[in-house]
Amino acid sequence: SVAGPPPELSTLLEWADGMRRLGVRANADTAAEVSTAVALGAEGVGLCRTEHQFLGDRLPLIRRVILAADAAARDEALSALEQAQHEDFKALLTAVGDRPVTVRLLDAPLHEFLPAAGEAQDAAEEQRAAALREANPMLGLRGVRLALLHERLYPAQAEALFTAWADVAATGVRPQLEVMIPLVSLPEELAAAAAYVRGAAEAVATRTGVEVPYRLGTMVETPRAALLAGELAEHAEFFSFGTNDLTQLTYGFSRDDVERQVLASYQERGFLTASPFARLDPHGVGALIALAVERARSVRPDIKLGVCGEHGGDPESIAFCDELGLDYVSCSAHRVPVARMAAAHSAVREQRDESGSAR
């Protein structure tokens, strides 16, 4: 088993856990990351980025799907992907145990997965890759958009996930499964993706006899998704705010470049006290989240709400999430102890403020 914090810190963190209201989960993509997160006190996984399971030497598994020459080649590539994911998910769910786990279906920005110019297997593949190269891949064929183009992609992943859940449940472990759709900005996108997931659950039930319990939800990480939160809530049992993309799209600041080129100078000038990618800005991104929370709850009062962007590990941003009444934050495993403390601090301050105003 993985070592947790030293005993004195563990005691302190347990006190903090007794005081906080806000849940703390971790972003984790593999069984090993889940074990580390749990050892540090994460209550579950708030974001498993399934595209990360294909980086490194497993990259061809996605590349073959995206660059398949014809339908038969694509089907073959999809079954290889499904098999690999079945193993990934069995290991992940076993490590999660009975805790909640949000598995996000593929959000693969194409520049991370296409061969570089000259790296393709042959001229025909290079031609197909060239047709897919984008000037702004983070704004391009990502997330649910790719799934709508390749309609067997999400069903393949979801079937692997539900089959893995059934296998793990047979050993007595029942992870609380949440299936999440990324980069949605239209309710129609979410409805279509939800239908793929439902179809996969039905296929697995027919094949295995197991009706896998799961919740379906969406990332809210585009300004339009935040504005249409009420409509999205009709199709979603939970939302997870993706504050990385939401910051990028609200400011129009590139996640990949702006830190170096703009934000350092803005902080020197005093325009910004912190990078908006590190700390939730209550007037911009934070205001969009607040609006989305209100609109979502007016349609589905019990909708489960979390944050899974980097901000989920920042104490000031955590206080903001706590005040909004979100259910949990999810951050990198190594920030979980700080998040537990920050959530407790925020709860204590809110109590103090309430008793102060009563006087």
Footprint of ligand PEP (CB under 6 A): 47, 49, 107, 221, 242-245, 308-309
Contact 310, 337 (CB under 8 A): no
Backbone φ and ψ of 65, nearest 5°: -70, -45
Mask 213-232, x = binds Mg ion (CB under 5 A)? --------x-----------
Distance in angstroms (rounded) separating the CA atoms of residues 43 and 349: 23
187/242 with CB nearer ligand PEP: 242
> Residue 175 CB, nearest distance to Mg ion (Å)?
23
> Residue 107 CB, nearest distance to ligand PEP (Å)?
6
Rg (alpha carbons) of the chain, rounded to whole number? 21
28/95 with CB nearer Mg ion: 28
- Say how many C-beta atoms besides its own lie within 10 A of residue 148's C-beta: 16
Told to check if 109 binds Mg ion by CB under 5 A, we report: no
For the chain, strand residue ranges (E) read: 23-27, 45-49, 100-104, 176-181, 214-220, 238-241, 304-307, 328-332
Q: Which residues of 50-60 are buried (b: 16+ CB within 10 A; e: fewer)?
A: bbbbbeeeeee
30/244 with CB nearer ligand PEP: 244
User: Which of 63, 43, 54 lies closest to 129 in space, CA to CA?
Assistant: 63
54/162 with CB nearer Mg ion: 54
> Residue 43 CB, nearest distance to ligand PEP (Å)?
18
Q: Are strands 100-104 and 176-181 parallel, antiparallel or unpaired?
A: parallel
Q: Which position among 175, 242, 276, 313 is part of the footprint of Mg ion (CB under 5 A)? A: 242
User: Which of 175, 171, 240, 180 lies closest to 212 in space, CA to CA?
Assistant: 175
> Residue 107 CB, nearest distance to Mg ion (Å)?
6
What token pair was written down for 14? Answer: 């347990």
Contact 115, 58 (CB under 8 A): no
218/243 with CB nearer ligand PEP: 243
330/346 with CB nearer Mg ion: 330
* Residue whose structure tokens are 């129009």: 252
Residue 309 binds which of Mg ion, ligand PEP, none (CB < 5-8 A, kind-dependent): ligand PEP
40/216 with CB nearer Mg ion: 216
> Residue 49 CB, nearest distance to Mg ion (Å)?
9
DSSP class of residue 255 equals T
User: Which of 180, 117, 107 lies closest to 139 in space, CA to CA?
Assistant: 107
Residue 88 binds which of ligand PEP, Mg ion, none (CB < 5-8 A, kind-dependent): none
> Residue 113 CB, nearest distance to Mg ion (Å)?
16
Told to check if 245 binds Mg ion by CB under 5 A, we report: yes
Residue 243 binds which of Mg ion, ligand PEP, none (CB < 5-8 A, kind-dependent): ligand PEP
Distance in angstroms (rounded) separating the CA atoms of residues 98 and 120: 43
Q: How does DSSP assign 270-296, residue by residue?
A: TS-SS-TTTS--TTTHHHHHHHHHHHH
> Residue 7 CB, nearest distance to ligand PEP (Å)?
33
Told to check if 159 binds Mg ion by CB under 5 A, we report: no
Stretch that binds Mg ion, among 119-127, 154-162, 243-251, 320-328 (CB under 5 A): 243-251
Residue 58 binds which of ligand PEP, Mg ion, none (CB < 5-8 A, kind-dependent): none
Residue 308 binds which of ligand PEP, Mg ion, none (CB < 5-8 A, kind-dependent): ligand PEP
120/307 with CB nearer ligand PEP: 307
Binding stretches for Mg ion (CB under 5 A): 221, 242, 245
